[in-house]
Amino acid sequence: MFFWDPTMVLLIPAILLSLYAQFKISSAYNRYSKVRAQSGLTGAQVARGILNSNGLYDVRVEPVGGRLSDHYDPRTRIIRLSEDVFYGSSLSSIAVAAHETGHALQHASGYFPMQLRSSFVPVANIGSGAGPILIMIGLFMPTYGWLLELGIFAFAFAVLFQVITLPVEYNASSRALSLLQEGRMLGSEEIGGARSVLNAAALTYVAAALAAILQLLRFMLIARGRSDD
C-alpha cells in the first residue's frame, strides 16, 4: 500500500518533533501570555513603534481573527495580528508582534532569503498540492508511471520552500529581540520570556521542514522500489 509501507518509519522522528514543537509553543505562549510587560504596551503599539522608528509609516497593523494567526503580508504590506496579540500587553503578545514586524523590516531591506521564499510561493503551492496526487497516480497506474517522477520533482519545490523558511523565521526572531531591547520595550529581565516564545515558535518550522524532507525521501525510496520491481 502507498500509505502503509515500511518507509512510514521515516516519518516517526518528524511526527515526534512536531508533537514536541506544538507542546512547546502552546506551553511557552500560554505561560508568558499571563505575564504583563512592565511597559504596558500592546502588541499593536509595539509593532507600530518599531515600524515608525524604521521609517515604515506606510505599513499597516491590523487585528485578525483566530489564535496564533499572526502574519505579515508582503503583497499588501500589512501586519495582521491575532486579537490577543493586537490588544494584549503580555510578553507573548509583544514577542509575536515584534517577530511579525521583523518580517516587515526584512521586506523593506530586501532580505534575500525572504525574497527567495516569496519567489517560491507559487511553485511550492503547486508542489505541495499536486505533487502527492501525481505520485499516487504514478504508483497506482503503471501506464502513467512517468507521473511518479514528475510528482516527486514538484514536491521537491515544496520541501525547498520549507527549508528556505528557516533562516527567514530565525532572522525575524533575532531582529525582534534586538529591537525590543534597543527600543526598551522590554526590560532585561523580560527578554528571556520573549525569547522562549520565539524559540518555541521557530521549532515548529524546524519540525515542518524535517517532515517535508523525510516525506520526500520516502517518496524517492518508494519510486526506487517500484523501478526495481
Is 83 marked active-site? no
Best CA proximity match to 139, nearest among 151, 127, 128, 157: 151
Task: Please identify which of the residues 62, 100, 149, 182 carries the catalytic annotation.
Answer: 100
Whether the CA torsion 87, 90, 94, 100 is positive or negative: it is: negative
List Cβ neighbours of 203 (8 Å cut-off, separation of 6 or more): 17, 20, 21, 24, 25
Nine cell digits for residue 33: 501570555
Whether the CA torsion 25, 117, 209, 218 is positive or negative: it is: positive
User: Does residue 185 contact residue 49 with C-beta atoms inside 8 Å?
Assistant: yes
By annotation, the residues acting in catalysis are 100
